[in-house]
Structure formats: C-alpha cells, structure tokens
C-alpha cells in the first residue's frame, strides 16, 4: 500500500478527530459521533485561541455547510446530527444576533475531562532545617 506508513515512537499525527471513549458506547449514530468529533476538535482549537463567551465558555463558529462538506454528508443529515447532539446535552447553539453566525458550545461528559492537580502547599509545622528546636 503506497502512501501509508507505520507509526513509530517518534511519529506525530497532524490531524485526527477526538471522540471520548464513553460516547462510543452511547446510542449516538456513527455520523453523529463523527460530527461531534469535528466539533470537539474545533473546540480545542478555540480553546488554544481563547475564544470564550461572557461566561468564559469555549465556543466555536462552524457553519453547517462546512460541517456537511467536511463529513461528506448532506445538510439535512448534519442538521439531524446536530439536533441529536443537542438532545443528548452535548451541544448548545447560541444565537448571537441577526445575520451573525451562531456560537456552538460543545459539552464533554464530566468523567472524560482531565482534572489538573493543583499544588497546594501546606504550612510547615516543623522547622525546615534538621535542627531540633527543643531541648
């Protein structure tokens, strides 16, 4: 097979579609999962660019016609997928005004989010040196 290579330890994959494993076991259809993966991929790009609304939530602007072209499905199929994602609670469409593009807010299952540990330093109860202050 020409044009394909095996992954190695130093390989970097430049574009992929992220889909949380939990959603693979959901009742969502395969095209809906593909659309969700595209939306989530765009959301991570918006995250890097700090595209947030007034509530500090990441949003994307992704016209339905572009999603349709990217997925290779008709507009009506993509609209159905978006509605399915809304019904499942994975997508919120926010109108921004007349003749302005909608903001799409992508939601992720809570258990799929990585929680960053914060370094909380506790006050020292003991002297920092090895000296014993008591007799």
**Amino acid 78: pLDDT:** 98
Residue 61: inside a domain, yes or no? yes
Q: What is the pLDDT of residue 23?
A: 93
pLDDT of residue 8 exceeding 60, the answer is yes
- CA–CA separation, 40 and 31 (whole Å): 14
Question: Which CATH number fits the domain that encloses residue 89?
Answer: 1.10.10.10
Per-residue pLDDT for 12 more than 90?
no
What token pair was written down for 102? 């909608």
- Residue 126: inside a domain, yes or no? no
Asked if residue 3 belongs to a domain, the reply is: no
pLDDT at position 123 is 56
Q: Tell me which of 10 and 127 has the higher pLDDT.
A: 10
Q: Which domain holds residue 75?
A: 27-108
> What's the pLDDT tens digit per position in 37-73?
999 999 999 999 999 999 999 999 999 999 999 999 9
Query: H or E segment at 92?
Result: strand 91-94
Average pLDDT, the chain: 87
What is the separation, in whole angstroms, between the first and last Cα of the chain?
A: 79
Q: How many domains does the chain have?
A: 1
H helices of 4-59, where?
A: 21-24, 30-48
In a domain, 75, yes or no: yes
Q: Decide if pLDDT at 100 tops 60.
A: yes
Signed CA dihedral, 51, 54, 60, 64: sign only: negative
Sequence-distant (≥ 6) Cβ neighbours of residue 88 within 8 angstroms? 26, 28
Residue 6 or 129, more confident? 6
Residue 5 backbone phi and psi in degrees, to 5: -130, 155
Look-up: residue for tokens 């992220």? Answer: 18
């Amino acid at each position: 097979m020409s044009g394909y290579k095996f992954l190695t330890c130093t390989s970097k994959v430049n574009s992929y579609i992220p889909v949380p494993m939990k959603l693979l076991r959901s009742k969502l259809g395969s095209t809906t999962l593909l659309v969700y993966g595209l939306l989530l991929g765009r959301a991570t790009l918006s995250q890097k660019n700090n595209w947030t609304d007034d509530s500090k939530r990441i949003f994307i602007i992704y016209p339905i016609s572009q999603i349709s072209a990217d997925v290779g499905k008709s507009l009506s199929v993509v609209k159905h997928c978006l509605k399915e994602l809304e019904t499942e609670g994975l997508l919120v469409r926010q109108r921004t005004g007349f003749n302005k593009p909608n903001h799409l807010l992508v939601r992720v299952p809570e258990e799929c989010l990585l929680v960053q540990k914060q370094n909380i330093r506790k006050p020292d109860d003991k002297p920092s040196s090895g000296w014993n202050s008591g007799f």
